[in-house]
Each structure stands twice: as structure tokens, then as C-alpha cells.
Structure 1
Amino acid sequence: MPLSTALGGTPSCIMDGARLFAPNGLRRKKAGSSMRLCEHCSRRHWRAKINPATGLQVKHKNGNKVFVCIYCGHVQEEEHLFIPPKERIKANILYIDLEISKSVYYNYGAKVPSKYLRTDDLIQENYMLGWAASYMGNDRVWSQFVTPQAARAADESGIVKRLWELMDAAEIIAGHNVDGFDIKHCNTKFDKHGLPPIVDKKTIDTLKLARSKFRHESNKLDYLARWYGLSGKEEVTDNDWKAAMSGDKKALNKAEYYCRNDVIIGKGLLDKFLPIANKHFRFGAIKKETYENEK
């Protein structure tokens, strides 16, 4: 028996010339993007079909919600397939870490009279030395750092697109101070190089979780990792960062290893924090090809 015959339903609206009104005089809104065009009149204005006994929206036996076309009264269910909660796969969480160079300014000695240095004295703004990223539940770590020539030219253009592609494919982006540092720096660099900022992603910030759920002596990643029995951060000195900015190949390799290790221990810390995050990261079926098809 067709769904429209089984569920019945009559339109609860009237036509007044070219305008469409509900019985109470209010316009009906379009349904969500999960609804197709009406199979009878090829329009797409729907209202929920309500069960008068329960006051709840009628659902098909497969779990799909049922709607009524407000033009012709045809009854139709949602387009997407319902995925029972027990069969859903956890959303893919991408853990990221950035390494940003220092900015270079002119200044009269070490003392700064005001709170900030003047932008008129800026010689070279900071740039992205490199990044590392990895999905939770997957051991593979991606990373990309500037070449020695690009470091000397402060040119990050060769490494930002790949990071943007990974972040755009992820459902959730995680990191230590990811909200206060990584996302903001990423969006600044993306915008600079003609890529749209990442603004519609959920995030998990382990620094915020450490501050809100615990009272550790320090909330630095190295301290927290060692406190939870994980390996600590690699040691990189200020001279190493200066050498990397000047294009020293060994220093850049050391910085990349340092960044990749931060991602590994950061993922371990996130594993410890997820049970107390008070968030349920189950969005439905995900495409594992996000990382399985990478070369």
C-alpha cells in the first residue's frame, strides 16, 4: 500500500490567489533540506503530519519523519535513511597542532613603553612554519613544513591548502588551546591565501577541559601528558626556532618532529578527557575514506 494511502492526511491550508496561508493566517515555511520535491505537484513546501492522538509527528516504520505537502496534501517521508543510534559510527575527530614563527619588529631597546608594539614598526609578520594532524582512532600522522627557501622568504603558501583540506573534511577539530590559538591562526592564514575560513566545525579544546574539569598544578600539554603517564614533549630551544626561521634544514626537521610528537601525546590526552567532556560525538555514519584513501 502506498505511504500516502496508508497514512492519509489532508492539506491544512487554503490558497488565496498566489499566496499560501495556513488556517491561522500564518505562512508555512519550507521543510528542511532532507525533503525532496513533492511527487505529485513537484513543489517543496511541507508541514509535519501530526498524530492527533499523541500530538507528535508521524514516523514511518523505518524511522523517517512524515510530512504533508501544503499545496496538494500528498504525504511523503524524509529522503535520508534513518540510522539507529546503536548503528551510528563515531564522528571523525581531527587533532591538529601548528608551529608559528615569531613576528619581527623594530624597537628602541628591550623595554616596551606601551602594552603593545606598534604595527608601524613591524618588519615581518608571523607565518606558519608547519603543521601536523591525525584522526583519533588512526595512528597515521600527516605533517607539512616549509622548505628552507620558503622559511627564509616567510612563504607559507605551499603548506596551507593541504591543512585546509584535512580540516574541511573533518567533523570535529581538536587540539590543546585549539580554540584560542590554532583555529584563529589557521583562519588568518587561510584568508590570506584565498581559502575560506573554517567556521562551522565543532571543536574539542583539551586546554579548556583541563581548566574546567580539573585543578592541576599546570595545564601545559607537557605537564598534563606526563601526569597521565604519557611521554612528554620533545625539547626545542629558542635558538632552534630562530634557526628554523632562517631556513636551517636540521632545525626545520627538528621542529616537524616536535610538532608530530605534540599531536601524538595530545591525542593520548584527549583519550583521557573524552569520557568527562559531557559531549556526545555521534553524528551518524561517517566516510572512512577521509583517511583510508590517502596516499
Structure 2
Amino acid sequence: MIVTDKMRQVSELLARLGLDEVAEELGLTEATVGRYDRAVRREGASEGAKVLFFDIETAPMEVYTWHLYPKMIHIGQIIKDWNIICWRAKWLGDDTILGSSQTPSEAIERDDERVVRDLYALLNEADIVIAHNLVDFDKKKANTKFLQYNLPPSAPYQVIDTLREARKNFKFSSNKLDYLCQELGFGNKINTGFDLWKKCLAGDSEALNDMYVYCGRDIEMLEELYLKLRPFIKSHPNMALYLDDREGKCSNCGSSDLTPMSRPYYTQTGVFQTYRCGCGAVIRDRKSLKREEFLMRGIAR
């Protein structure tokens, strides 16, 4: 999408006004305001690092149990183990939502090999992977299936876990994707009940499609959440490393829209010029404003 001056105006106003206020001031719908802001924040994403958002939906295990609150279920009580029903994914800067889902017969047989191999092929293209609870769930679940199907480790990629970033930087009442996106004005997940999972296990084609759509909505929300959190992510993979030119770039988004700040950043051994990027992140130069040979430090021990 080509970013217009109108879109940039919307993004600038959103830095100090609410979504509804900007919509009223410019005579636009709130949906249009949100779309314009996303276009500005995603500008340039087609260059440099290949950033992949992904989410998986898994089927529950079937087990024998004597009561509703078992402290532990022995492996001998497992009837059928979990499997991946479907996954959805999209590249940052691309509106297309990709994915793969079990067929009705595959769902009944709990055969997810084709779905897993499709995911494996996609992950091998990514430089950076983003998911909510990526580190403790999606990545480990995916790796488990790769191992089961004798696939070697995927090509290396950097990770951004939006759940961990939300916990690290903020104190929301809940860090669930649904809650965070509602609080930040990005809408909510598609409502489902456990019956949807049961119907998927039974090979219901409509339920499998509903699950696929449900997972796709999660991807839309995930991208919105990431773009909102991005300026606060201190350990963000350095996006500038994936670009060829030598111009100063934001380490969080790769943009050259940098404004020098009046307040420098101090460490124990240096003073560094800081910049505010158009994405909102604050970054600094690598070279100190003061020559290090004239600086002294206290004795550690």
C-alpha cells in the first residue's frame, strides 16, 4: 500500500489524540483511521528482514481420568495425544494471511503431518518470528512435531514473544491476547466454545473452517499488538542489520525517520546521542560523545 500524506497526518494525530477524536476531526470512520495508521507503521516492511507472525491451534488430548481434578495423569491413561489442527501466518508488510488446516479425514485420524510440513517450510523463510506466547507454546509445540516427523531444526530465526514483552514492560490486568487488544482498541477474538474443538476432532468440515478463520483473526490482532508494543521492546532484533545502506536506521523498525533528542543516554563509560524514531522507539548512537580515554570508573571490588 502506498502511504499518502493523509495517512501520515492520521498517524501524527494519533500520537496525541484518541482514535474516535481523530476520526471526528478528519471526518473519517474509526476503521479507516486504524487502517491508515497501520499502513504508516508498516511502511518499509517489505525491505530488509522477513518478519513472520504465526499462530497454531492444537487439538486437546483424550485421557482416562477418575475425577475432574486430577493432580497428575499417567502416560498410560493417554488415549490420543494432541495434534495441530491448523496454523495461520502473515508477513509484516503483506496483507495476505497464509495457513494450512487438516482435512476432515486427517482430523479424525489426528494426522497433522502435512500441516506440520507446510509450517516447517514457511518458518525456514523467516528472519524474525513473532507470536503471543511463542517461547513457551508455539515454538515448542512446532519443534515437537518437527522432531516427530524427522525434520531437522528449522533455519535460525530471531524471536519476539508479545506475551513476554507485555509482562516485562506493563501491568495490564490480563496479558491474554484478547484482553490486550480490547484494551488497546484493536477489537476482540472470535467467540468460540469447546464444542468447536470437539467438532473439529469429529472431522466436521464447517468447524475446521471456523477454526481456520478463528486462527486468522488472531493473526490480525497479533500484528496490531506487535506494532503497538514495538517502541517499548528494548531487546528487539536490530532491523537495521538487514538493510544494505549505511544510513542511520532505527533498530526497532529499520526507518531513517530519526529526530535527535535533547537528552543524551548515559552509561558508566559513555554519553550517547539519542534519537526518537517515527515508530516511537528511542535509540542511540554507538559512539560516545566523550572520549573514553579521559573517563575513570570506580573500583568494583
Fold shared, TM-score > 0.5 on shorter chain: yes
Long gaps (5+) in structure 2: 1-45, 245-301
How do 1:253-264 residues align onto structure 2 when only pairs under 5 Å count?
253-264=209-220
Confirm or deny that 1:104 pairs with 2:62: yes
- Residue of structure 1 in register with 2:52 after alignment: 94
One-letter code of the match for 2:176? K
What does the per-residue CA deviation read over 1:113-143, in whole Å, with 9 as the maximum and x for residues that have no partner? Answer: xx32000111111000010010111111101
Q: CA deviation at 1:274?
A: 1.0
Confirm or deny that 1:131 pairs with 2:131: no
Confirm or deny that 1:145 pairs with 2:101: yes
How do 1:42-57 residues align onto structure 2 when only pairs under 5 Å count?
none
One-letter code of the match for 1:175? A
Larger RCO (CA within 8 A; separation ≥ 6): 1
How do 1:20-169 residues align onto structure 2 when only pairs under 5 Å count?
89-112=47-70, 115-169=71-125
Q: Could you tell me whether the CA contact under 8 Å between 2:88 and 2:216 is conserved in 1?
A: yes
1:99 aligned counterpart, secondary structure: strand
Confirm or deny that 1:171 pairs with 2:119: no
One-letter code of the match for 2:240? R
**Number of equivalences:** 197
CA distance in 2, matches of 1:172, 1:247: 34
- Residue of structure 2 in register with 1:250 after alignment: 206
CA distance in 1, matches of 2:241, 2:121: 20
- Residue of structure 2 in register with 1:189 after alignment: 145
- Bigger radius of gyration: 1
Match of 2:232 among 269, 276, 282: 276
CA distance in 2, matches of 1:141, 1:221: 18
1:283 aligned counterpart, secondary structure: helix
Q: CA deviation at 1:89?
A: 4.2
CA distance in 1, matches of 2:148, 2:159: 22
How do 1:221-236 residues align onto structure 2 when only pairs under 5 Å count?
221-236=177-192
Percent identical: 31
1:232 aligned counterpart, secondary structure: coil
Q: CA deviation at 1:284?
A: 2.1
Confirm or deny that 1:266 pairs with 2:189: no
Confirm or deny that 1:211 pairs with 2:167: yes
One-letter code of the match for 1:91? A
Q: CA deviation at 1:267?
A: 0.5
CA distance in 2, matches of 1:281, 1:224: 25
Q: Could you tell me whether the CA contact under 8 Å between 1:171 and 1:202 is conserved in 2?
A: yes
Q: TM-score, normalised by structure 2?
A: 0.63
2:86 aligned counterpart, secondary structure: strand
Q: CA deviation at 1:159?
A: 1.0
Long gaps (5+) in structure 1: 1-87, 287-295
CA distance in 2, matches of 1:199, 1:187: 12
Q: CA deviation at 1:281?
A: 2.3
CA distance in 2, matches of 1:106, 1:157: 26
Q: Could you tell me whether the CA contact under 8 Å between 2:127 and 2:156 is conserved in 1?
A: no
Q: Could you tell me whether the CA contact under 8 Å between 1:89 and 1:282 is conserved in 2?
A: no
What does the per-residue CA deviation read over 1:53-95, in whole Å, with 9 as the maximum and x for residues that have no partner? Answer: xxxxxxxxxxxxxxxxxxxxxxxxxxxxxxxxxxx94412101
CA distance in 2, matches of 1:239, 1:89: 42
| RMSD over aligned Cα atoms | 1.6
2:178 aligned counterpart, secondary structure: helix
Q: Could you tell me whether the CA contact under 8 Å between 2:50 and 2:125 is conserved in 1?
A: no
Q: Could you tell me whether the CA contact under 8 Å between 2:123 and 2:155 is conserved in 1?
A: no
